[in-house]
Structure 1
C-alpha cells in the first residue's frame, strides 16, 4: 500500500504514484518538482534570508477535522499564510493556489493528513524550507527516515491538535 498505520503490520509500503506523476493542478512528476524547486531557490532568488517568515499551507479542507483545526489555529496570525482552497471556484484557484515551487518562497511549510497520508509532504521536502508537521497517524515508505530531533533532524513535529504550533513557529522565527 501507499500508506499504513503503525498497527498495520501486514502492509508492505511502496512509493505512491506522485513520484512519477501527479494529477493535481500545477504539480507534475517528483523529478519535475525537485528541479523546479531547486531552480526557484537558486535562480529566482529565494535564499533562506529572503524567504517569507510564515508557515504556508494551501489545500482543501474537505470538512476534515485536522485540516479545519489547522485553519482555526492559524486564522489571522501574523506568522501564518494559510488558506483553504475550493477546487471548483475559479477565483480561489486564481488567487489562492500556489505551485510547488512557489511554496519554496516560505520558510515554514505544513503538510496535513487528509483521509489518510499527506501526499504533499514529499513535494514540500523538495524546498529548502522547514517542514512543520503534526504527529502523523499514516506512515509512508520514507517516514522511518524522518527525524524529529538530534543532529539529523529534518522536520519539526507538532501535536495533532496544533496546541504547540504557535510556540514552535515563534521559536523558529526567533532562532532564525
Structure 2
C-alpha cells in the first residue's frame, strides 16, 4: 500500500505549535472549566472563513464573513533573536520607559522591515517609505539586511529598542504585521496609514488623522479605500493614541515636524497608548481572551454527532482513535500515520 507523507516547513510547524501551546496554557489555568468544542485555526497571513486567524479585514464590503481573531503567536514566542516573547519584551520596555523621559528619546521616526513585503492593497508601501526617509535627519528608516536564512539581520533593532525613539512607523505585511503589539507598549507615537487588517487588540486604537494637523493639505487620491468606512470613529487631541497618515507617506515628514513643534500633543498620544495597551498585552489578558474566544466559538460551532456527541468523546476519547493527547503531540509534532 502506497503512503504519502506531508512535510511541514519548520517555521509553519513552530507557529502552529505556539498557538496550541497558548491554548493549552489558557485552558489549564482557567479558573473554571471551558466548554468542549472543535475548532479550526489558520496561521497564514490571509484569514480563512469559519476559522480562527491572527487578523481579519476591516473592509465592510466583505459580507457574511465569519472570522475569529486569536492572539498573535508571539505571546508564546517569536523565535528570532531581536524579538522573542511578548512578556519578555514588555519587561525590557518597562525598564526603557522608566529610564527615558520623552525629551531624552531619539527625535526620529524609526522603522525596520523587509522592503518587498507589502500589503495587498498598497504594494508600494514599504519602498515608498524607505525612499521618503532616505538621508533625512528626522528618519532612521531602513530595510532589514537579512542574514543566516532570515534568522537575523545586520541592521536589526531589538524590539524593545524601538521605544527609545519618539516616533515609530508601522507598516502592514501582506495583511497584518505582528510587530504592532510590541510598538503599542511604547510611550512613543505610532505613525501608520490606516490599517486594513485588525488584530485582537487593535479595536482599542483611537486614531487621529494627520489631516487634523495639516488641514490645508490635499488628501492623496491614489488609493481606493474609503477610510471613513473602515475607521468611522476619529478622536480629538485629548483622546487619540495613534496617528494615521497618508498611505503614500506624503505627509509623514510634515506630521513629524508638527509633533516636534507641539511636544505636548505628541507626549499625550504616546502616554495614552502605553497606558492602555500594556494592560491588554499582559499574560493574564491574553489567557482571558483565549477563554472568551473558546466560550464564544463553542456557542455557535458545537458539532452534532449522530452517535452520541460529546458523551461518546468523553467516554472513549483518544482511545477510540479520534485524536491524541496534547502532551504527546507537543513532543512529536505529528499525529500517527495510521
The match for 1:40 among 82, 96, 107 is 96
Instruction: Decide whether the 8 Å contact of 1:2 with 1:13 is kept in 2.
Output: yes
Within 5 Å, which residues of 2 pair with 1:144-159?
144-148=203-207, 149-150=235-236, 151-159=238-246
Which structure's relative contact order is higher, taking Cα pairs within 8 Å and 6+ residues apart? 1
Return the offset for 1:62.
Answer: 2.6
Q: Is the 8 A contact 2:160 2:182 kept in 1?
A: no
Aligned twin of 1:6: 58
User: Deviations along 1:38-62, whole A, 9 cap, x unmatched?
Assistant: 11222xx321110011100011113
**CA RMSD, aligned part only?**
1.8
Please list every run of at least 4 consecutive aligned residues from structure 1 whose deviation after the TM superposition is greater than 6 angstroms. none
Which is higher, the Rg of structure 1 or of structure 2? Answer: 2
Asked if 1:125 corresponds to 2:212, the answer is no
Q: Give the alignment's TM-score, normalised by structure 2.
A: 0.48
Matched, 1:60 2:114: yes
Check whether the contact 1:158–1:164 (CA below 8 A) recurs between aligned residues.
Answer: yes
Residue in 1 aligned with 2:143? 84
Q: Take 2:187 and 2:95, find their aligned partners in 1: how far apart are those partners?
A: 11
How far is the alpha carbon of 1:75 from its aligned partner?
Answer: 1.2
CA deviation profile, 1:32-85 (whole Å, cap 9, x unmatched)? 11110111222xx32111001110001111353211111011111111111111
Q: Distance in 2 between matches of 1:175 and 1:80?
A: 18
The structure in which a higher percent of residues are helix is: 2
* Count of aligned pairs between the two proteins: 172
Report deviation, 1:173.
0.9
1:174 aligned partner: 261
Task: Identify the residue that residue 86 of structure 2 maps to in structure 1.
Answer: 30
Deviation at 1:152, TM superposition (A): 2.5
